[in-house]
Chain A
Amino acid sequence: MNIDFLQTPRGKLITFAVLGIVLAILPWVLTGGFENGKSWVRAVDFALLYIMLALGLNIVVGYAGLLDLGYIAFYAVGAYTYALLNSPHLQAMLPYWLHNPPFLLMLLIAAFAAGVFGLLLGTPVLKLRGDYLAIVTLGFGEIIRIFMNNLDRPVNLTNGPQGINNIERVHFLGLDFGRPVEWLGLTFDMVHLYYYLILAFCIVIIFVTLRLQHSRIGRAWVALREDEIAANAMGINIRNVKLLAFAMGASFGGVSGALFASFQGFVSPESFVLMESIMVLCMVVLGGMGHIPGVILGAIIVSITPEILRDVINPLQEGLFGKRVVDPENLRMLIFGLAMISIMLVRPEGLWPSKRRAREFHEHDEEARA
């Protein structure tokens, strides 16, 4: 394919138009084309939530170079903020005006709450880097989860391991996202409605991260990642820039978490285990750290592949051996793990890295050729 054509204004327009049409009809293709189409749309909805998470983590890890292994905590904060304000569980204790806030305001509250937690994490780790930072963030992520697990006593705040259910769906633009809607002869089920809702916010977040990348702040993050002392000598306020990275990344996670809670209708500490943090980090690294298209691709692959394997493994096993030899759930993660290892061995810079990162990894090849 001619890549140059895609760079021209007309080429870009066509690319975006095609992409727009594909995204618009995707859920209908899935529901129309597959027997269990709705669960596929559901998987895509989750992939979109993961894209938001990965883009948020990309700010912290990819741009500012701060390794964060507890990122899922901000997703949890966003989800629980939504859950607490939009379910009967805590509403009896809350003043009336705090019940079911308007949707956009709710998202702002979730983003703000997660951002505050981002600052809470960022402040004590200002002086830490690399492996030390990773350990502290890991601990932070676990603390948040354990708090949610145990804050059912003395006051029942989070309902402990049982989690919070009966969470209200989103009510926005006169729509109840929990009920099917008939429009243009199509039945928009909850998964469809949420698809478009999450997609819209995903696009907003992509746009914001794109703008951030080329802003003064974006450059300051890069300077911070490359050399803290030199960055300081450039007149960059290291402390504020770092805290901003933590807070900004966290707030994306918070928005994603709020959408997650409303989509699931249920939250519990189980959704926010360390494995989730690691998965999101994998998305960023596997796709191409610091490169937005790469991170999006990474999020899609890491979240969708296990779903595909789920559908493929059993027929495959039965075809090969005539019976199920291995528990599909275990085999799925085994294959997935092997795939990740091989990708990292073959392409350590990620599947779709920025030109810069690809160059860093292949500098030596170039030197060897020259």
Chain B
Amino acid sequence: MSEALLQVKDLKVAYGGIHAVKGIDLEINQGELVALIGANGAGKTTTLKTLVGMIKPAGGEIRFDGQPTARLAPYHYVSRGLVLVPEGRGVFPRLSVAENLLMGAHVRNDKADIAHDMERVYHLFPRLKERQAQLAGTLSGGEQQMLAIGRAIMSRPKLLLLDEPSMGLAPIIVQKIFEIIRMIAAEGVTMLLVEQNAKLALETANRGYVMESGRITLADSAASLLANEAIQKAYLGE
């Protein structure tokens, strides 16, 4: 088998004296949807931020698309195809929906393709099309999440990292967001999904990692994790 799209070996991250990530291994293959679940403070967000270069690792190796990413400046990651949809969405509140989407395409230079991708995003999120002239800050939480995902798609990611897409949203909106995540996955976009809503995440993903205080404690297919009694007790509330 060829090399995985993302390979993480013994990744360590420290903030000051605190070791948030204590040597984890991760692998994501082309076309997979992988969930990373765990309790608050387990180090999930830190892991994602490190993967896109927002935090420098204290040790270990990250290889993306066959190349190490250690020395890259943060803005290079997007053009390499590694895109994060941050926790809390991070849309530009005072720009319109359409302008936000264009920002996502900043690293690209092909006007016709960008226009085509805009249509694709509007097709995925008809709601955004309706509101394309509206300022992003006036959108509801769910719409902002859609916009953040749409904007990330605009940069044509090879690997899309989603940080807590369900955070702060009403259950019905969460269902909708996950429907869209499945649709994007069906289009062949590889994704790493960090979620506190473990049940929903595992029902959506192919594989899953469980993270506990900075370490990966379990790695398995999503179906087996869902069936795992310890997981059910700790994360699924059953």
Chain A contacts to B: CB under 8 angstroms = 216, 219-220, 222-223, 226-227, 229-238, 356, 359-360, 363
Known A235-B76, A236-B75, A359-B135; 10 more pairs at CB < 8 Å: A219-B102, A219-B103, A223-B106, A226-B92, A226-B94, A227-B90, A227-B93, A230-B91, A230-B103, A231-B103
Bound complex: CA of A363 vs CA of B96, how far in Å? 13
Task: Kindly state whether residue B104 has any CB partner on chain A within 8 Å.
Answer: yes
Residues of B near A363 (CB, < 8 A) are 135, 138
Determine how close the nearest CB of chain B comes to the CB of A64; give it in whole angstroms. Answer: 14
A270 to chain B, nearest CB (A): 40
* For the complex of A and B, 5 pairs with smallest distance between CB atoms: A235-B78, A235-B107, A230-B90, A226-B92, A237-B75
Residue of A nearest to B74 (CB): A232
Given the complex, which residues of A lie within 8 Å of B84, measured CB to CB? 233
Q: How far is the CB of B145 from chain A (nearest CB, A)?
A: 14
Our pick among B54, B77, B106 for the contact of A219 (Cβ within 8 Å) is: B106
**Quick one: closest B residue to A232, CB to CB?**
B74
Give A223 to B78 CA distance when docked, in angstroms. Answer: 15
Residues of A within 8 A of B112 (CB): none
Query: CB distance A216 to B106 under 8 Å?
Result: yes
- Given A226-B94, A229-B90, answer yes or no on A234-B138 (Cβ-Cβ < 8 Å): no
CA distance A183 to B95 in the complex (A): 52
Complex interface: chain A residues within 8 A of B77 (CB): 235
What CA separation (Å) do A39 and B90 show in the bound complex? 53
* B227 close to chain A: CB less than 8 A: no
Q: Which residues of B, 81-118, contact A by the 8 Å Cβ criterion?
A: 83-84, 86, 90-96, 99, 102-104, 106-107, 109
CB–CB A222/B95 < 8 A: yes
Using known A-B contacts A230-B90, A235-B79, A235-B155, determine if residue A223 contacts B74 with beta carbons closer than 8 Å: no
Query: Could you pull out 13 A-B pairs where Cβ atoms are within 8 angstroms?
Result: A222-B95, A223-B103, A229-B90, A230-B92, A230-B103, A232-B74, A233-B54, A233-B84, A234-B103, A234-B151, A236-B75, A237-B75, A363-B138
Interface Cβ pair total, 8 Å cutoff: 65
Contact in complex: A235, B106 (CB < 8 Å): yes
Residues of A near B107 (CB, < 8 A) are 234-235
B94 and A220 contacting across the interface, CB-CB below 8 Å: no
B52 adjacent to chain A (CB < 8 Å): yes
- Chain A residue contacts of B109, Cβ below 8 A: 216
Do A220 and B106 form a contact, CB below 8 Å, given A360-B94, A363-B138?
yes
Is there an interface contact between B78 and A227, defined as CB atoms closer than 8 Å? no
A222 to B95, CA, bound (A): 9
Q: How far is the CB of A224 from chain B (nearest CB, A)?
A: 10
B73 in contact (CB, < 8 A): yes
Partner of B75, one of A219, A235, A359: A235
B73 to chain A, nearest CB (A): 7
Q: Verify B106–A226 contact, CB threshold 8 A.
A: no
Choose among A230, A359, A363 the residue with the greatest number of B CB atoms under 10 Å from its CB: A230
CB within 8 Å for A234 and B155 given contacts A219-B106, A227-B90: yes
Are B73 and A237 touching (Cβ within 8 A)? yes
A238 CB contact (under 8 Å) in B75, B91, B138: B75
* Chain A minimum-CB-distance residue to B82: A235
With CB as the reference atom, state the residue of chain A lying closest to B109: A216
Inter-chain CA distance A223–B99, complex, in Å, is 10
Q: How far is the CB of B136 from chain A (nearest CB, A)?
A: 10
Give chain A residues whose Cβ lies under 8 Å from the Cβ of B99. Answer: 219, 222
Which residues of A lie under 8 Å from residue B96 when comparing CB positions? 356
B153 to A: closest C-beta gap in Å: 13
Q: Given contacts A359-B135, A363-B138, is CB(A233)–CB(B90) below 8 Å?
A: yes
Chain A residues with Cβ below 8 Å from B73 are 237
Smallest CB gap from A235: residue in B:
B78
| Residues of B with C-beta under 8 A to A356 | 94, 96
Known pairs A226-B93, A227-B92, A360-B94; A234 contacts B106 (CB<8 A): yes
A222 to B70, CA, bound (A): 29
Q: Which of A223, A360, A363 has the largest number of chain B CB atoms within 10 A? A: A223
Minimum CB distance partner of A356 in chain B: B94
- Distance in Å: Cβ of B76 to nearest Cβ of chain A: 7
Instruction: Return chain A residues, CB-CB under 8 Å to B78.
Output: 233-235
Contact A232 B94 (CB under 8 A): no
Q: Which residues of B contact A229 (CB under 8 A)?
A: 90
Give the distance to chain B from A237, nearest Cβ to Cβ, in Å.
5
C-alpha gap A229/B91 in the complex (Å): 10
Q: Which residue of A lies closest to B77 (CB)?
A: A235
- CB contacts (< 8 Å) of A235 on chain B: these are 75-79, 106-107, 155
Q: How far is the CB of B211 from chain A (nearest CB, A)?
A: 22
